[in-house]
Amino acid sequence: MTKISPTDIKRLRLVLWSATLLPAIAVGLALWMAPPVPAASAPTFQGEADIRSAFTLTDHNGRAVTEADYAGRWQLVFFGFTHCPDICPTTLAYMANVLDLLGSKADNVAPLFVTVDPARDTVPVMAAYVSAFHPRMIGLTGTEEQVAEATRNFRTWFERSDNATAPDGYVMAHAGHLYLMRPDGTFEAVFVEGEQPPEALAEEIAMRIEKEERMR
């Protein structure tokens, strides 16, 4: 496998969303300590699940950030890595389409891509990668300990697996969930790319933004 270049990623995004049908994407194992996501078009809700947006990381501009830097905005969070050959570029392209469909409401959303491979996904690597998908996309990296803490708080998982044919001799197995977090950092819903079109997810998020605005 070779590393996907920014040019390849941009081309992939166009191909993915100009096609009339999307291939099914393998989504890995179910959430740790949470019920599995059913194969349905509707989002799965976990009530007040113990999933929290809590982290200390570095964004793709080299700035140290915590969840407090995104307070007041909804967060759409995905964990992956830049050497990922399939689900990561597909899901980030999906997120980019959701942001475009949200229009002005995208100002209320922080789209976060958190690497589970911080050894390779340095600040410059993350900057080049996320910019190929969408100008609003935020890449987050950090130390191995910081990344592990973030995954624990989101109740997600990842695992390094040796693979002689992969770049640097290993790949990262990880969950494929998209977390929607409320403006206060608490859990709202979890989605999987491929279970609903981007239009449906954009509508779901817009509905929640409008509801939250009415309650102010």
Domain ranges of the chain: 6-16+53-214
The per-residue pLDDT for 202 is: 98
Using DSSP's 3-state secondary structure scheme, residue 210 falls into: helix
195/192 Cα distance (integer angstroms): 6
The per-residue pLDDT for 50 is: 85
Q: What are the strands, taking DSSP E only, across 47-153?
A: 56-59, 64-66, 74-80, 109-115, 138-141
CB 106, CB 113: distance < 8 Å: no
80/66 Cα distance (integer angstroms): 18
The per-residue pLDDT for 49 is: 60
CATH class (in words) of the domain with range 6-16+53-214: alpha beta
| Gyration radius of the chain over CA positions | 16
The per-residue pLDDT for 216 is: 80
The per-residue pLDDT for 5 is: 52
Tens digits of pLDDT across the chain (216 residues):
434 454 555 454 444 444 433 333 333 333 334 444 443 334 444 444 689 999 999 999 999 999 999 999 999 999 999 999 999 999 999 999 999 999 999 999 999 999 999 999 999 999 999 999 999 999 999 999 999 999 999 999 999 989 888 889 999 999 999 999 999 999 999 999 989 999 999 999 999 999 988 888
pTM value > 0.75: yes
115/112 Cα distance (integer angstroms): 10
